[in-house]
Amino acid sequence: MTIDETRPTSLPTGKAINVSSTLGTMVELGQPVSNRVAIGLAKTIPEEKLVKELEARAAEEDFQADKVTLLHLLEDYPTATFTFGHVVDAPARGSRHGHRFLGVASSSMERLEVGERIQISIRPSRNGFHLPTDDSKPIIMACAGTGLAPFRAFVAERALKKGGGRELGPALLFYGCSRPEDDDLYRDELDEWEAEGAVSVRRAYSKQPDASKGCKYVQDRLWLDRVDVRELYAKGAQLYCCGAGAVGSAVEDTMVRIKAEVAGCDEETAYKWVQERKGDRYYSDIFS
């Protein structure tokens, strides 16, 4: 087959490639699926009870946070019909939804043999999605799950600068994950940097909100600590958001609410204000 695609893609374009090689080495069925894909798969299940079960499961707000993959769904619902179903060996149903998630990139790297060649691409970061050149400028970071990656780098750099005697502006990191003991990524590292004064971390645990002041999602924690947010923003802070589309939308909606409360205006006016700040003091890196 030949892929003719003008948008960025990790697959070879403009030349004939082998279908089996593409599906075997270049496409990852272990990638978490979107709600839309899960609902589409539900429509192919012959059992009405299971259709409703999967549709309800896909409609949950934290469906994507659970990192459900296509393979997981085909294992849970083996009667679903799917284009690649004939190459999937679906095991007995057993207990549902208790999957061990294997990271896409790390699992692929682990399977490689020494000397194998892999295809990679390097893309520039989004314009403005980097630390301010002025170290004294405050920053506010909001993310969930793997959206923590760029902010871990941000805070690591701030910690190095602070260790070298540089004066830094305040930094808030709002981070959403499932549970403290499950996926509170780099907890020890972030705690150490927080103790050094490089950042103040505000967490939200979707499956254990009682451990995060009742906040389930990152937008809930952002709203709870809105006084700190608006004070830093009034002092010139830059706001960064990284995560899935749902995270980006929720953070934006919360910033609209905060602005409306501070300015005493309607949400339409606040929304326009937020949009005007994008690319200036509000930067997002959103992935599907």
Domains in the chain, number: 2
In Å, how far from its chain's centre is CA 110? 23
For 101-133, the pLDDT digits (tens) are 677 778 888 889 999 988 888 877 767 899 999
pTM score: 0.64
Alpha-carbon distance values, 113 to 28, 30, 50, 100, 116 (Å): 18, 20, 40, 24, 6
CATH number, residue 176:
3.40.50.80
Nearest to 258 by CA among 271, 245, 249, 247: 271
> How many H helices and E strands in the chain?
12, 5
For 264-285, the pLDDT digits (tens) are 999 999 999 999 999 999 999 9
Q: Please name the amino acid found at residue 22.
A: T
Asked if the structure places residue 88 within a domain, the reply is yes
Q: What is the mean pLDDT of the chain?
A: 85
Q: How confident is the model at residue 84 (pLDDT cuts 50, 70, 90)?
A: very low
Expressed as residue numbers, the domain containing 161 is 139-287
53 and 185 housed in the same domain: no
Asked if the structure places residue 131 within a domain, the reply is no
